[in-house]
Structure 1
């Protein structure tokens, strides 16, 4: 008996959510780069409470954290698939992996810019 798709509205969505939570947990607990980025996200969230940032700043910060973690997750998936398909080094696979890593770089630089714009005024008032 093969895979049977659950077509019911509620249980099908619930199962999808369980798979997504399992995937997020695996990502955060097995990938070192995600562990670092997740930790930075927690630190920045604590900083948001400390500095009492505005609602708009919270929205931008949350979006930036989610963007970096999401793109890193996609990058990890691309790397795992590429390694599964071609375990030995291959120039074209390396090119694909570099492009996926470049996407993470863009997301991270965007998050750093957002963090700097949000926190620079708060930090300068401390000095």
Structure 2
């Protein structure tokens, strides 16, 4: 899935840790349950990606992976769930599924530009985040 976060001005970012712009998006799931001895399965999601320099797993931003002269420097993408930055490599419970049940689940997010370096330049930003889904 691609999320177009839009366009901002360089002046919209005012230093390391500031953010601007944003685009709401959803991950939509159709989950089908099998048979388990407990009668249900917990559905968990986790996220991973290449973090920008100086950011952490708990409040980090994704590195700008755009190559070439059109790449913006010092600016990445931060993804939020429920108004809080997504913590990478953490399992989030997104629902429970009974045996042989089919559920539709929508998980809302916000992606925004995030300044992670003191020196920035204008240009394009491309980042990617990996979404993993597990049934337990």
TM-score w.r.t. the length of structure 1 is 0.26
**Counting strand residues as a fraction of each chain, which structure ranks higher?**
2
Which structure would you say has the larger Rg?
1
